Amino acid sequence: MQEQLRSTFDEELETIKTGILEMSKIVEETIPIGTQALLEGDLTVAQKIIENDDKLDALSISLEEMCYHVLTLQQPLAGDLRSVMGALWLNSEIERSGDLMCNIAKATRRIFPEKIPNAVASLLTQMSAEAQRLIGLSAEAYLKGDAGLAVALDDIDDRLDDLNIETVEAIFETHNQEQLTLHVAVQLALICRYYERIGDHAVNIGERIRYIVDGWSPERTGAARLTQRGEKE
């Protein structure tokens, strides 16, 4: 009986993991498609991305309910508990990344029919590639339980942060040269922020993977610092 319960529990954990990886794959594949739609002014593809976000939301809700089901009926402990709690956090981070790509698709509609200058388009393409890379690496770290790769995501994200600054500067420099309207410049700056936020979500995923693997969490680190300061006072 005990072995059967354990087998069922392991199957449920694997189903949750598969769902998380499926969500991550959807977001990873959507990033370059959304970027191409942005640069080409393809409203048909942009609309499809907006509609497909509903599918990601539905999958997210299904996974969340499954996690709560496992927590309620199986009452997992230690590493198993971290796996389920971590999946809940990852689910949220990935779903929000999908929302950000939906935002980029909506911004694509607002920008149309304006053309994006080549210099800005090149930088946006680089930001897109870095965001996609970070989401892909976070999924790899989760699949393999690789805490080292999870930690490295924070450093890898620095490149995207730098690109964000560079691209926003290029956008408003182009606006000053009267090659972009203020409306389009603002929309493009927001899009930069969306790419940058996807990278931040990937870093957050890395932190939660560390929690799943070895129990580390940024909240515990902060709480420990607070305790140390209190002792010194």
Quote the Cα angle for 27-28-29, to 5°: 90
Burial code (b: 16+ CB inside 10 Å, e: under 16) for 3-25 equals eeeeeebeebbeebbebbbebbe
Taking alpha carbons only, the member of 62, 99, 55 closest to residue 201 is 99
* Residue-wise pLDDT tens digits, 153-200: 999 999 999 999 999 999 999 999 999 999 999 999 999 999 999 999
* pLDDT at residue 220 tops 90: no
Alpha-carbon radius of gyration of the chain: 20
Instruction: Verify cis geometry, omega within 30 degrees of 0, for the bond prior to 113.
Output: yes
Q: 3-state SS of the chain?
A: CHHHHHHHHHHHHHHHHHHHHHHHHHHHHHHHHHHHHHHHCCHHHHHHHHHHHHHHHHHHHHHHHHHHHHHHHHCCCHHHHHHHHHHHHHHHHHHHHHHHHHHHHHHHHHHCCCCCCHHHHHHHHHHHHHHHHHHHHHHHHHHHCCHHHHHHHHHHHHHHHHHHHHHHHHHHHHHHCCCCCHHHHHHHHHHHHHHHHHHHHHHHHHHHHHHHHHCCCHHHHHHHHHHHHHHHC
pLDDT in tens, 37-57: 999 999 999 999 999 999 999
Q: How confident is the model at residue 203 (pLDDT cuts 50, 70, 90)?
A: very high
Residue spans per domain, the chain:
2-232
Query: Which CATH number does the domain 2-232 belong to among 3.50.50.60, 2.60.40.10, 1.20.58.220, 3.30.360.10?
Result: 1.20.58.220
Q: What's the pLDDT score for residue 6?
A: 60
- C-alpha–C-alpha distance, residues 165 and 107, integer Å: 19
Determine which of 1-10, 71-80, 119-128, 130-139 has the lowest per-residue pLDDT on average. Answer: 1-10
198 CB neighbour count, 10 Å cutoff: 30
Q: What pLDDT score does 73 carry? A: 85
> In this structure, what token pair is assigned to residue 158?
């620095």
